[in-house]
Structure 1
Amino acid sequence: MYRWQAMNVIAEHGVVGIIRAETAQQAGLRARTCLDSGLSVLEISLTTPDAPELIKELRREYPSALLGAGTVLDAASAWTAIAAGAGFLVSPSLHEDVVSTGHRYGAAVIPGTDTPGEIVRALSAGADAIKLFPASRWTPESMRDVLAALPQAPLVPTGGVSLENAPDWIAAGAVAVGMGSALSRGSTDEATARISDLRTRIRTARG
């Protein structure tokens, strides 16, 4: 998959499920719940034990899913994640060596920023999209103000986005939102209903 194809999938879904857990087993259960519930864009945080191996397992089990790696802080981690099958890389901050490594091997890269100045630096570094992190420091309205000045910035608010306000971020101009355990809790049937409802409301928010 090309970088632009990965970004198209992320934009079409409107939500990236973030998987982070204290054990690989917990992470695997959460990831499979999301995937079985129709959410096929997942970011596996490298803070999770054995995260690269989990990405490999999920790639084999769900070949049509778009899997990425999160908390990618350096070139070595970027390469490890890509070798495991990650199609996109996400960082909490901007690391230009992650961007260059990801692009060298075909992965889309979404670095984190928290100010307009950081957003511009991420654009200059070649970011495919930009993680607005933590989104809890922002509001959809304040993000809209930034996009008025930087309409070329594809923003993905993450950290503090809820099931209730996710469509508000999309309506304000976000390409997608990043969300964690709120998506995968409960049974597969419960998660399926939750994810289906969220994606419907995101599509409606786009107009």
Structure 2
Amino acid sequence: MNRLGTGFEKFPILAILRGLQPSNAEAVGRALVTGGITAIEVPLNRPNAVDAIEILVNCCGNEAIIGAGTVVTTENVKDIKSVGAKFAVSPNVDHDVIRATKENGMLSLPGVTTISEAYAAVSAGADIIKLFPCDGLPSNVVKAMSVVFPQNVPFVCVGGITLDNIDGYRQVGAQGFGIGSALFKPDMLADEVLARTLAFSKAYREL
């Protein structure tokens, strides 16, 4: 996973912090980093997401790679670049968004659900393929897709990843994982985030 540099290279789990607010961004970020997470995404489809990203960059940017999710316009790309984001995750394959992401020196992780979309994403310049939603795809389907996915670009499984199924997806070819509500919910205290992070760290390292 070295295409994500110091983030996934160290530990291939992407923490997805949907609904993170500036008021608890630093506490949650530090809990994740303490637990071993080195890649953090804040989706833009919740209020104050860009502000939360900026706080994470300032407090945890030396220890983790910080980026944004639900990046669907070139304006989104400009907004997250201005606060120091290093990557953009999208739910779809939008050539303009991928191009703008790359032109701004960030890594591009577009979402795909088909093999055709995967090749289109790579052709547009994607660094990582996000297979989403994985919880709607049986592991045998993921395995079949992984065999014909572009082999020069890694893929991560996102959607419904839990402690119970992470090993199954790893065994069928996933090279990384995006984990959302199993790690973080907006009403969680930092201590609970840390406990969940440590559990995932332990589970992954025992795979």
Report the TM-score when normalising by structure 2. Answer: 0.85
Q: How does 1:86-105 map to 2 (within 5 A)?
A: 86-105=85-104
- In 1, the alpha carbon distance for the partners of 2:30 and 2:162 equals 21
Give the partner amino acid of 2:61: P
After superposition, the C-alpha distances for 1:112-142 in whole angstroms (9 at most, x for unaligned) are: 0111111111111111011111112212321
How far is the alpha carbon of 1:176 from its aligned partner?
Answer: 0.7
Alpha carbon RMSD of aligned pairs, Å? Answer: 2.3
Give the partner amino acid of 1:158: V
Q: 1:200 to 1:179 in 2, by over 3 A?
A: same
1:174 alignment counterpart:
174
The answer as to whether partners of 1:155 and 1:176 remain within 8 angstroms in 2 is yes
How far is the alpha carbon of 1:191 from its aligned partner?
Answer: 3.7
Q: Which consecutive unaligned segments of at least 5 residues does structure 2 have?
A: none
Number of equivalenced pairs: 202
Identical-residue share of aligned pairs (%): 30
Report the TM-score when normalising by structure 1. Answer: 0.85
The answer as to whether partners of 1:122 and 1:130 remain within 8 angstroms in 2 is yes
Q: 1:73 to 1:151 in 2, by over 3 A?
A: closer
The answer as to whether partners of 1:70 and 1:90 remain within 8 angstroms in 2 is yes
How far is the alpha carbon of 1:190 from its aligned partner?
Answer: 4.6
- In 2, the alpha carbon distance for the partners of 1:73 and 1:166 equals 28
Q: How does 1:5-84 map to 2 (within 5 A)?
A: 6-7=4-5, 9-21=7-19, 23-25=21-23, 30-64=28-62, 65-84=64-83
More helix by share: 1
Other structure's SS at 2:71 match: coil
The answer as to whether partners of 1:68 and 1:87 remain within 8 angstroms in 2 is yes
